[in-house]
Structure 1
């Protein structure tokens, strides 16, 4: 046998974790092979740390359980199916929805009926055409100012008062009309009437001239003769001692002299003024009468005459004034009626004029009463009722809906074209892919309008 050699095998020292205890001398230990430990299993869901003193829980309880794919698919499909079935049922009950707008032709019907009105009648008498009513009256005065629109060339002479002095003798002096007086400005005026100028008188030992006031007028028209206060001489005494002893003075200005175009009252002015004033007073009286009315009453206005008590202008044709007034005093008498009574009488007469298929639109009924005669003292009269209303041929909605149910839209349109009383029709169906009207009449809405 071969000789075998043996060597001491010393294992490597372990690395010790630091600790608070003093290091001890390493002791020799037998060599051990390191044990293989299984690798730790990492959970798919984080496991929360366990606090000290708490019991550990099974980590498998914290992992949510997943629903298998086939089961989720069945649940989704079932929900969708239930929803579709519900919506389908609702659609079956409600759809389609049809709205048909129909416009019917109308025509105007007008006629006139007579009626008697009296305060003694208490209610409408259809057979005799009697209406209860009341006679009302109102009197007013109106004065309006108007401008003169006529034009004319006007010539006016200035006038004024002068005081004539006789400082010639104690004998009176007669001066004839048209005696000339010349102002200090050289303007010639003439006496309008003959005057007697008194002679001198003795006052306190002195002779005082006799005086007289007289009206003089300018010898020619024009504004130049509108002079102020002035002194006057008598040209007829020129060259005689009387020339300086007879004289005159004015103490106020001469007025009225004019020459040129001016406004005058024309015949057309008076005619227009009369028409305007009469129209205004008529309106004024009507408004007063209307204000007296209670709701539901109607005032007869048509053909009611205006009783003119007095009228006239404050100026005559050709008078040169810029403005003038026209005055009117007038009275109006008419009848007051009840609107309800008028409708009762009018509708009764209207129904008798309609055919079996005709109807009328109540809101289109218009009644215009006109006065025929009036006895104000007895409070009675006669009126003529002018009536107008729109009529149409009736269309039975339910019967028409029943006739159109289940038909196609084209058939429905042709049906309306065949109806003479229909002007036009519009059909709306929802949803639009439906081509036929439903058989359920509650799903069809028929709206009727009029031209």
Structure 2
């Protein structure tokens, strides 16, 4: 039997009226506030419904909602939020926005006039009927509180369309004049409802028994979880009811991780650095070792030695004047002699003394000091310049400009009236032995010999040091230096500024290897048979040594210090210390006499127990 269903075609004028009254927008969960505001601005309707799913991004921010309300007020449009999100709805209401729980009754207002419908009968195939019924069942109740529960339960049933169903609906049609009145009335009603508007329930859809295609597509995208086949129904149910279980599982997993991490930290992360100081013993050895050129290797307390024979020459130059052979010189200078005694001239003979601060100088020749003169009623003393020389040689007479008295006039009236003044420094005075040149003295020869021999010994010792092999030692008592030739190229009394002193010397030294000395000490330590100990030579000192250069032998006293270190089984002690507390270490270490002390550094410092396991 064929099924029939009415297909309604709505005239254009009625469609415009419905669109101008309100417009519905379906918002995606991840849609930004900028996109929502853009939709509002592009709307041509005064009333705008925004269907928002739970946990939508823009619905979670009070700032976004305030921005949306401000934009609605600015454009003069009314905005209604349709959502099941209780938190988002509460925030929207606090911002002054209207909120509805579902989209039921939004297609046509309760008092809206019946649109003009051109009646027509359309025959549908069984496949189209199945599709129509499927869509109707899937999209019915969208936005209601029991939508998800109904979707889950309905998916368990087999959806089949009855082939015997025949649906024919006839809708009364009004005249075109009535439709014009409807438009004008609806405009007036919309203006009156702007301040206080309550959407009225509608029992009919604009598309009749069909769903708005745009809304159908959007809602199927938003609520696609309810349209899955039966084999996927468990996934939808779990997504709704597993929130708490997921939180419990995550909390349990986190708790297990913390417990595991705590155990790992307690057992493995703490560390302890154990520093064991062994009980080191000091052993001393004093013995005599013999050296002989005829021995090629160490034998008991005898070691091989080697002879070094070298000869060196040296020649040094000496300055006679620098060594005190010249005579001192007397300082010289010029003075001005003054006569304030009378207008008669005064003659002063050569060698006449003048004095300043205890230093005596003498005139080098006779001078006549003029008498006083009167110029414009003013008496001026007579003055003459003369050369003087110090009474004695020496640098002390090199004096700065000063005034002088004449000691020969002392205790007489002329003492205060005759005087002298210098305007320049006196120069040329030298002490004895600082002359420019002089004759060579015995003192010069002795000084030259002493300095030359010292320099020669230093040179010859450096030569021996350069001859030593690695590890060889030469002691001072085992060296014999002989001065074979000395002499100066000038004689006592020769007048000269410099002379050379020449010297030649030879050295004979007995040298030995320090490794041979240590080998003898090691042989002695091995004879002591020290068990469970290691030892090493920490110091070797050499005492008195006697060298026989005729027999090429050496007798040497030595003093040695040996550190005896006990052998400690580190792994054994470490195994006994694992897991022990700091105050329990003593009970373990008291069994080891070879250990002097133990220091344990714990990381972190709050830990006081050595870890159970070794790293």
Greater share of helix: 2
Greater share of strand: 1
Q: What's the TM-score, normalizing by structure 1?
A: 0.49
Larger relative contact order (C-alpha < 8 A, sep ≥ 6)? 1
